[in-house]
Amino acid sequence: MAAPGAGPNIVAFPGQRGPGQVCFDRQELTRILDLYGRMVAAGEWRDYAMDFARDCATFAAFRRTADVPQMRLEKRPALHQKQGMWALFGEHGQVLKRGHELVNVLAPVERRLVKLVDQ
């Protein structure tokens, strides 16, 4: 159930005022998990984590379970009118790509996958 005026993909729970938490919709999650599966098949990633907060939904992919994330994808609907609600972060926290479309933000990881498969 979406809260009135809450913006895209913000969930409100019964008895709660205003926006609840940000989440990925089915198409977004399908695209993210498809890329994750291909990176697992290429031997790059072995684990992932998702976090859903009030202002941000995060997907992180790990080379090993105890490592820092090799890639972190954030969805912040509050920024959809500004620099775009999607942001891709690298292993050391650097911003690799920002944008309005998930496909464009995931492009650097897709290019890396192509290079891995071609080797």
Contacts 24+ apart (CB under 8 A), 32-41: 32/59, 32/73, 32/102, 32/106, 35/106, 35/109, 35/110, 35/113, 36/61, 38/113, 39/109, 39/113
Residue 2 has pLDDT above 90, yes or no: no
Q: What is the pLDDT of residue 58?
A: 93
- pLDDT tens digit string along 4-58? 555 566 555 555 544 578 888 899 999 999 999 999 998 889 999 999 989 899 9
- pLDDT tens digit string along 53-102? 898 999 999 988 777 889 999 999 888 888 889 999 988 889 999 999 99
Residue 1 has pLDDT above 50, yes or no: no
Residue 106 has pLDDT above 50, yes or no: yes
The pTM of the full predicted model, rounded to 2 decimals, is 0.78
